[in-house]
Structure 1
């Protein structure tokens, strides 16, 4: 590569010990982790909870990226959310109770990506079409649907975070 940058994760080849059907999900999560690390490097803690045009703050996006991955992977296992997960959900984006730093929130996301990759690597591909129920309303999805949505939702919020951080950095 001309500038010594690696190609995007999905262009680096298959991941060792990752079932083929969930490779795209793993690639997306790894790509998000890399982009997030670069984006948030040097971002000031004092701007963490600032909003642009009334949109969500960087702190919200960082908390939500972590929380939604954990919740979707919980549903993919066929489990209901715990009280701890529901409590975390209710505090996403609320700076009044938070003393987090940017680096702590990035580390939390990285740890959740690691946990998600571990779950993906242990996935039996024959279970990908199994029905799972989501949320209090118990709406139906499949294991693959939950995994795919986790990748899509992660990239959606990363995109929003990229714009918000760019505006806040001026």
Structure 2
């Protein structure tokens, strides 16, 4: 099987400053893994919560939502009412959504995040950024790094959940 190397081994991403290349690589790697491991995932298992674990649907909603939120904070913005509503509804089952629509929304958020990365001024990386209602301190770089790290970690959790759910099926 002819498989590409991991994204970080394919060279620099055009239009993204060298300091932010690892963020872009991590986000693209996550998108590829989500696409690969959700391919042909049974729709009937999307909202299953085996043993109290978060569902595959939750993981996909959360991946999209958290990237949107972290990039808002990195851009110096607080969350909008729509983002707050999305956050409140992430943990609920959404029978109207499909694996395909959830993965497409995640891929669209990855594209938006990469576009934001390309527009990030390297001189702003150490700028103070306030996070959440408590306005906890961070920086642009801290938030972008956390977005990449959180996304990769959560994709790992998604993959474990997918394997677990599929293993329970006859």
TM-score category of the 2 structures, normalised to the smaller one: over 0.9
1:83-98 pair list within 5 angstroms: 83-95=81-93, 97-98=94-95
Which residue number in structure 1 is paired with residue 4 of structure 2?
6
State the TM-score, normalizing by the size of structure 1. 0.96
Which residue number in structure 2 is paired with residue 99 of structure 1?
96
Give the SS at the match of 1:18: coil
1:1-170 pair list within 5 angstroms: 3-95=1-93, 97-170=94-167
Please list the CA deviations of residues 117-153 of structure 1 after superposition, one character each: whole Å capped at 9, or x if unmatched: 0000111101000000000010000000000000111
Give the number of aligned pairs.
Answer: 167
Distance (whole Å) between structure 1 residues aligned to residue 161 and residue 77 of structure 2: 34
Distance (whole Å) between structure 1 residues aligned to residue 50 and residue 30 of structure 2: 22
Distance (whole Å) between structure 1 residues aligned to residue 43 and residue 80 of structure 2: 30
Runs (4 or more) in structure 1 with deviation over 3 Å come to: none
Distance (whole Å) between structure 1 residues aligned to residue 119 and residue 18 of structure 2: 12
Q: CA RMSD in A?
A: 0.8
Which stretch has the larger CA shift, 48-57 or 114-123?
A: 48-57
Distance apart, 1:93 and its partner CA: 2.4
